[in-house]
Amino acid sequence: MKRELLKWCVGAAAFMAPAMADAQKNLQVNVAAAKADIQPTMWGVFFEDINQGADGGIYAELVKNRSFEFFKPLMGWNITRKQFQEGDLIIMNRADKPANPRYLQATVKNAARGDLGLTNEGFKGMGIKNGLRYDFSVMYRQAAPGVKLYVELVDSLGKTYGGTAVDLSQAGQDWHTAKASFTANATVPKGRMRVWFEGNGVVDLDMISLFPSDTWKGRPGGMRADMIQMLADMKPGFVRFPGGCIVEGYDLDQRYQWKKTIGALEDRQLIINRWNFEFAHRPAPDYFQTFGLGFFEYFQLCEDIGAEPLPILNAGMACQFNTAELVPMEDLQPYIQDALDLVEFANGAVTTKWGAKRAELGHPEPFNLKFMGVGNENWGPQYVERLKVFTKAIKDKYPDIKLVNSSGTDPNGDRFDYLNTELRSMNADIIDEHYYRRPEWFLENARRYDNYPRTGPKVFAGEYAAQTDKVVSIHNKNSWQAALAEAAFMTGLERNADVVTMASYAPLFAHAEGWQWTPDMIWVDNLRAYGTPNYYVQQLYSLNKGNKVLPITLNKDVVAGQDSLYASAALDTKTKEVIVKVVNVSGKPQQVNLDLKGVKSLASQGKLFLLQSNDLNVVNSLEQPKNLAPVESSIAIKGKAVKMEAKPYSFSVVRVAYK
């Protein structure tokens, strides 16, 4: 690591002008020369079900394999019985429910509580909170009543921390739902749920579920509130969903199909998550997608936190790193129809087929979808050929929908050059660029968009994160070195907001025991969540966005590495504030004078938000969630200039009111 930090310091020093090293840096901000609009979508978030992000993550269901549809039907479940009898608990498969064929059939013979039961291990355990209500539900079918269930929460030693009895009173050929609630009497980070059988009879069980009552907005069967609150606290301009590589699938059978993720939970067809087997160094054999979190819930989430929805759809191509399976051009129409139907689902009147489906799900008002992605990290002429057909069909029917198109996996090279040329010749709306690179790359590329064309397609910095080791390394850390490099790079994104209209760090969430990929913006366990230094960089940009770009220069040049400084400036015309972001990537303090031209006067005090550490290796953790977090203070102002110290290895945001 010392060698890498030395490389960083040498790289940062390359931008330094020795004669200026100890001199005050005079950064001129021309407030009267506001340039490009900064779009409300400028800073957003990218969600993908990786690192246990959905099931066992933001989807608050505590029961793993609740419908017995995993490849191993009893994965996640353990059977407890005093005497073994063949056939007491068996998995049945029905032909009339292709989306959810399996269920458990229990034959209960004079059983008392403790004789026969099932225990579910949850997702790396179940986070149990003292004093919280838990809501249990189960679908059941029986010819005649005779069986009662007891549900309880236990720890690894079997000690009980709350439970209740569940009466299965209805009979006949139809399936019924039984519900019961109880309160936990202790906090347990790795609990389990146990179900005991009592009585006599044969009963079929499916969709065995347990939710905490403190979901986001208190919605039954909803999302984990602390994780969603961290997104809401960022005030993101958009949420990109559902990924990522899961959009493509390992093959086309495993691709994400949005129509299978809406409607009744028992009708949402589970599929394997591609991150189940993608990385040999982090196998996850119990990683599946139940789609309890589906497209309706994604749209609802976006509405809740005031973000634009950005769904990404399959372009008729499986992941090109895996099978590279293609849909023949003559068979592409169903994929295109899925895209057209999604717009109708999101925006259509309740008199339309898919608008009526949205209303049926409880949301008659449209979601006002404005953006859609076609393909994820696809490349080559096969992608362009399919994209042209998609684009024509969507634009013919919905000309106002802005389409996001892939520029491949890398920010340069033959694939990128080919796609960038083709997409610009197509006059694409938005080109999605991805960069997972070393921190030094982010410093060196702060000017990347300074010379991009100001007309034609806009850019979506759709996936980026500094890699402290290398891509797909288990040694990548969410260190301050990585976050500081991203902060420097983002000054270039903001400076070029007439080119870059959207940007999002990736991946978003990771479970401390269930991850496949690092680094990640927000880390969680079963009870806690914390933001990394990268999270706080993203949050500071998003909360201090402004709506107009202001020119900011050092010696008549953009501030992009001279003497290790990076800077951007923006105007918030609603609050009448100038917002200046200054990044110092060197290990020495620097005196900075922000000379604001074109204002009548400034307020006598401004606000300073500082993210800083002298240790580039510093990280946050579950035990120290705010080891590095922004500190807010006041800054005194005299005249039309703001004097500040850019501390070593720091990211500063200054807000000052003007007249």
Contact 564, 25 (CB under 8 A): no
Which stretch of DSSP H or E encloses residue 391?
Answer: helix 380-397
Q: What φ, ψ does residue 558 adopt, rounded to 5°?
A: -60, 150
Please answer whether residues 480 and 649 qualify as being in contact, where contact means their C-beta atoms are separated by less than 8 angstroms. yes
CA distances 65 to 59, 221, 264, 272, Å, are 14, 15, 17, 12
Closest residue by Cα to residue 290 from 119, 89, 461, 75: 75
Pair of tokens at residue 375: 């393909």
DSSP secondary structure of 252-305: GGGS--GGGGSS-GGGSPPEE-GGGTS-TTS--TT-EE--SS-HHHHHHHHHHH
| Peptide bond before residue 244 is cis, with ω within 30 degrees of 0 | yes
- Is 377 an active-site residue? yes
User: Contact, 579 vs 594, CB < 8 A?
Assistant: no
Decide if 180 contacts 218 (C-beta within 8 A): no
Contact (Cβ atoms closer than 8 angstroms) between residue 405 and residue 387: yes
Q: 64, 286 in Cβ contact below 8 A?
A: yes
Dihedrals φ, ψ of 605, to 5°? -135, 145
Close Cβ partners of 650 (under 8 Å, ≥ 6 residues apart): 484, 582, 583, 584, 610, 611, 612
Q: Are 191 and 153 in contact (CB under 8 A)?
A: yes
Does 242 sit behind a cis peptide bond, omega within 30 degrees of 0 on the bond before it? yes
Residue 49, C-beta contacts closer than 8 angstroms, at least 6 positions apart = 55, 57, 242, 243, 244, 246, 273, 275, 289, 293
What does the alpha-carbon distance between residue 285 and residue 358 come to, in Å, rounded to a whole number? 34
Q: Which of 325, 377, 463, 486 is catalytic?
A: 377
Residues marked active site are found at 377
